[in-house]
């Protein structure tokens, strides 16, 4: 039994861990981002160009302050004489203005990227995720190792490698860019395809172990557990998936409408990934991210479940993942310790299959660690349904239920 003083000390220690994690992430990220350099990704604001029907390409450039190199890229000029071409050769005034804005937006996207860091980060992702995948397949991940892997992910992919690229950015920025400039940035499409391929192979693995904002929330959540999934501060809650996913879908719709109607990115001011580039966080952003991380003590991955556009996209692809959490009902004793250990409601849904919709599974493997009969695996193949009556109480429990009230399936014993 934990004494009152012991409980108080545990709360103080948990609060200290939380403060230390946030402080280290902010300070070290500020240093790292200064080393890498770079600038915020900001698309040029579409503007009304000075444009006349008989204007030449060269005259258009002079009137609108565009360099010769910019004109060459926008209009595909081959020789200097092409500057004398009429704008009418490129379409109507609206078509020319749209083309120029699109080209400028793509040039801005390209210039904002660190083309050394991006392939390096993807290479590190592949190595790290492969290591975690092997550990899970061999059933090696337990509490201490899980904390170590989450910490390593935050440090490598967040603190050292920065906020960009990220799984969320591939969806959010693609919507914003197309909504604002009707442009598609090919490298982003490639990155999104890679991330979704990882989800297709292994059950949202990139979100679980590679996403810097996701692993930071996960790490904070687990610092507030004083063993056996009991919270040291307050109470950790599992929000109903019907609620969280409804909010996430509504937020995704708002993101899309704002991008197409006004060219505005509603995530940018509150982007949680900016904690790894803290100089870009304003007062509103810092306040929101602070509340989000505080909420992570009590709710498992709140941004992922409530707001993340890649979280929603990945959840859809996750339905056809090749490797996933599975239950062997021949050895399962229906104790439901796996569902209790799961930080969200997903394991309960996987275990009983009493609902058509299965929530996001982040493959944290807490379910496998809690299972007393090794009935849970991270394996390929279709999930099987539990046998009829598998989770009904045993006859001995029926008698106890009548005299003692409700009992947990955790009291179920082996035949």
- 43 belongs to a structural domain: no
- 44 belongs to a structural domain: no
Instruction: Determine the Cα–Cα distance for residues 67 and 70; give it in Å rounded to an integer.
Output: 5
Q: Does residue 278 sit in the same domain as residue 402?
A: no
Pair 311, 304: CB distance under 8 Å: yes
Whichever domain contains 328, its CATH number is 3.30.70.20
Instruction: Determine the Cα–Cα distance for residues 301 and 64; give it in Å rounded to an integer.
Output: 47
Q: Does residue 33 sit in the same domain as residue 171?
A: yes
- As a 3-state breakdown, the chain gives helix, strand, coil percent values, each rounded to 5, of 60, 5, 35
pLDDT in tens, 119-166: 999 999 999 999 999 999 888 999 999 999 999 999 999 999 999 999
**Tokens 């979280």 appear where?**
311
Q: Does residue 264 sit in the same domain as residue 384?
A: no
- 187 belongs to a structural domain: yes
Q: Does residue 379 sit in the same domain as residue 287?
A: no
- Of the three residues 276, 296, 316, the one that is the final residue of a domain is 316
Identify the pLDDT of residue 290: 97
* Number of folded domains that form the chain: 3
Q: Does residue 403 sit in the same domain as residue 261?
A: no
Q: Does residue 106 sit in the same domain as residue 125?
A: no
Instruction: Determine the Cα–Cα distance for residues 365 and 146; give it in Å rounded to an integer.
Output: 9
- 50 belongs to a structural domain: no
Instruction: Determine the Cα–Cα distance for residues 40 and 359; give it in Å rounded to an integer.
Output: 34
- 311 belongs to a structural domain: yes
Low-confidence ranges of the chain (pLDDT < 50): 1, 396-415
Instruction: Determine the Cα–Cα distance for residues 166 and 157; give it in Å rounded to an integer.
Output: 9
- Does the CA dihedral 74-75-76-79 come out positive or negative? negative
Q: Does residue 34 sit in the same domain as residue 66?
A: no
Identify the pLDDT of residue 46: 55
Q: Does residue 97 sit in the same domain as residue 164?
A: no
Pair 246, 142: CB distance under 8 Å: no
- 180 belongs to a structural domain: yes
Q: pTM for the full model?
A: 0.87
Distance of CA 407 to the CA centre of its chain: 37
Instruction: Determine the Cα–Cα distance for residues 375 and 21; give it in Å rounded to an integer.
Output: 35
Q: Does residue 393 sit in the same domain as residue 279?
A: no
- Of the three residues 285, 316, 347, the one that is the final residue of a domain is 316
What is the share, in percent, of the chain residues with pLDDT greater than 70? 90
Q: Does residue 20 sit in the same domain as residue 96?
A: no
DSSP 156-212: IIIIIT-S-S-HHHHHHHHHHHHHHHS---HHHHHHHHHHHHHHHHHTTHIIIII-H
Owning domain of residue 360: 323-409
Q: Does residue 330 sit in the same domain as residue 279?
A: no
pLDDT in tens, 32-67: 999 987 555 555 555 678 888 788 988 888 888 888
- 358 belongs to a structural domain: yes
- Of the three residues 269, 290, 316, the one that is the final residue of a domain is 316
Pair 85, 57: CB distance under 8 Å: yes
What's the alpha-carbon Rg for the chain, to the nearest Å?
26
- 415 belongs to a structural domain: no
Q: Does residue 127 sit in the same domain as residue 231?
A: yes
Choose among 289, 295, 321, 135: nearest CA to 212. Answer: 289
Choose among 191, 137, 130: nearest CA to 164. Answer: 191
Distance of CA 405 to the CA centre of its chain: 42
């Amino acid at each position: 039994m934990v004494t009152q003083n012991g409980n108080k000390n545990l709360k103080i220690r948990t609060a200290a861990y939380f403060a230390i994690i946030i402080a280290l992430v902010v300070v070290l990220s500020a240093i790292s981002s200064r080393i890498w350099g770079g600038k915020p990704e900001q698309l040029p604001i579409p503007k009304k160009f000075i444009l006349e029907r008989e204007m030449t390409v060269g005259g258009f450039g002079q009137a609108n302050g565009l360099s010769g190199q910019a004109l060459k890229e926008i209009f595909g000029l081959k020789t200097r004489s092409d500057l004398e071409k009429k704008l009418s050769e490129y379409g109507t005034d609206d078509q020319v203005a749209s083309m120029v804005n699109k080209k400028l937006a793509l040039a801005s996207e390209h210039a904002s990227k660190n083309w050394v860091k991006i392939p390096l980060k993807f290479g590190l992702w592949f190595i790290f995720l492969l290591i975690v995948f092997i550990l899970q397949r061999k059933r090696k991940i337990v509490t201490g190792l899980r904390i170590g892997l989450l910490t390593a992910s935050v440090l490598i992919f967040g603190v050292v490698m920065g906020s960009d690229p990220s799984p969320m950015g591939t969806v959010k920025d693609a919507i914003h860019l197309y909504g604002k400039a009707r442009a598609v940035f090919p490298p982003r499409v490639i990155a999104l395809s890679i991330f979704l391929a990882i989800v297709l192979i292994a059950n949202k693995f990139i979100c679980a172990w590679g996403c810097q904002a996701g692993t930071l929330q996960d790490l904070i959540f687990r610092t507030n557990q004083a063993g056996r999934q009991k919270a040291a501060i307050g109470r950790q809650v599992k929000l109903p998936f019907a609620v969280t996913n409804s909010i996430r879908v509504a937020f995704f719709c708002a993101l899309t409408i704002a991008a197409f109607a006004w060219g505005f990115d509603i995530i940018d001011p509150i982007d949680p990934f900016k904690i790894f580039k803290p100089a870009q966080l304003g007062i509103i952003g810092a306040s929101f991210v602070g509340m989000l991380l505080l909420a992570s003590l009590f709710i498992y991955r709140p941004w992922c479940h409530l707001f993340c556009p890649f979280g929603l996209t990945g959840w859809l692809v996750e339905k056809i993942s090749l490797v996933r959490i599975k239950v062997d009902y021949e050895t399962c004793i229906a104790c439901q310790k796996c569902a209790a250990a799961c930080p969200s409601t997903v394991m309960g849904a996987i275990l009983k299959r009493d609902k058509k919709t299965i929530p996001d599974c982040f493959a944290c493997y807490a379910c496998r660690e809690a299972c007393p009969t090794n009935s849970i695996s991270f394996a390929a193949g279709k999930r099987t349904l539990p046998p009829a009556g598998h989770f009904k109480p045993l006859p001995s429990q029926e008698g106890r239920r009548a005299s003692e009230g409700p009992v947990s399936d955790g009291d179920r014993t082996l035949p």
